[in-house]
Amino acid sequence: MRADFPDDIIVYKPHPDVEAGLRIVRANNHDLADLVASDVAMPDCLDGCNVVHTISSLTGFEALLRGLEVVFYGVPFYAGFGLTTDVVESDNTAKINALNHRHRVDGLTLPELIYGVIVEYPLYHLPHGHGLAQPEDVIEYMYNQSSFGVSIPWQSRMWQSIKTNAMRLRKFTKQ
């Protein structure tokens, strides 16, 4: 990356799983960046950049929503529709096939992509509800849950803590 952009300021934001010790990183990406944004929230990082380079991340989708240029090295759900720059290695036939399949579709506008991702594709179901729910119902439900200060049951918090600590231990046993 540094060779491609010698005069740019490169900020590296580690994946949250890497920061939490849940994934092992084989490359030292810190040496390739001018700044490592470890304890910075992603929205703050995006506010300060012009272009986002990512492998396959919702960060790229958030960057698209903010009107930023997005360059991909993976194949996220929103690549290949003309909204991103998709970097393809000549020997990666699976990636080439996936992107070629998407390129058969006329390019999408950002509103079309958002509609597909939020309204058309997913199926929503509310807790204690019967049948499927509309996106508007889910948004209202989530808003009401947050405004009433609903907390997560202690059993769920405990189970999540156990899973997180087990993943952290894997980091030390796989070396």
> What span, in angstroms and rounded, lies between the C-alpha atoms of 115 and 108?
11
Comparing 123 with 157, which gets the higher pLDDT? 123
Per-residue pLDDT at 19 exceeds 80? no
Cβ-in-10-Å burial (0-12, 13-18, 19+) of 166 comes to exposed
Residue range 22-76, pLDDT digits in tens:
777 766 666 778 888 888 888 998 998 999 998 877 899 999 999 999 998 887 8
Mean pLDDT for all residues in the chain: 80
Task: Please choose, from the candidates 48, 44, 79, 45, the residue with its C-alpha nearest in 3D space to the C-alpha of residue 64.
Answer: 79
Cβ-in-10-Å burial (0-12, 13-18, 19+) of 15 comes to middle
Residue range 68-98, pLDDT digits in tens:
999 988 878 888 888 988 887 777 777 677 7
Note the pLDDT of residue 175: 47
- Tell me how far apart the terminal alpha carbons of the chain are, to the nearest angstrom: 27
Per-residue pLDDT at 147 exceeds 70? no
Q: Which structure tokens are listed for 81?
A: 């529709």
The per-residue b/e assignment along 32-71, b for 16 or more CB within 10 angstroms, e otherwise, is eeeebbeeeebeebbeebeebbbeebebbbbbbeeeeebb
Residue range 114-124, pLDDT digits in tens:
998 888 888 89
Residues 6 or more apart in contact with residue 36 via CB below 8 angstroms = 11, 12, 13, 14, 30
Note the pLDDT of residue 104: 60
Give the ranges where the chain is alpha helix by DSSP (H).
16-19, 42-47, 58-65, 93-103, 110-115, 135-147, 154-173
Note the pLDDT of residue 66: 94
Q: Which structure tokens are listed for 148?
A: 């009433």
Note the pLDDT of residue 110: 92
Q: What is the pTM of this model?
A: 0.69
Pairs from 84-93 (Cβ < 8 Å, separation ≥ 24):
84/60
Domain range list for the chain: 124-175
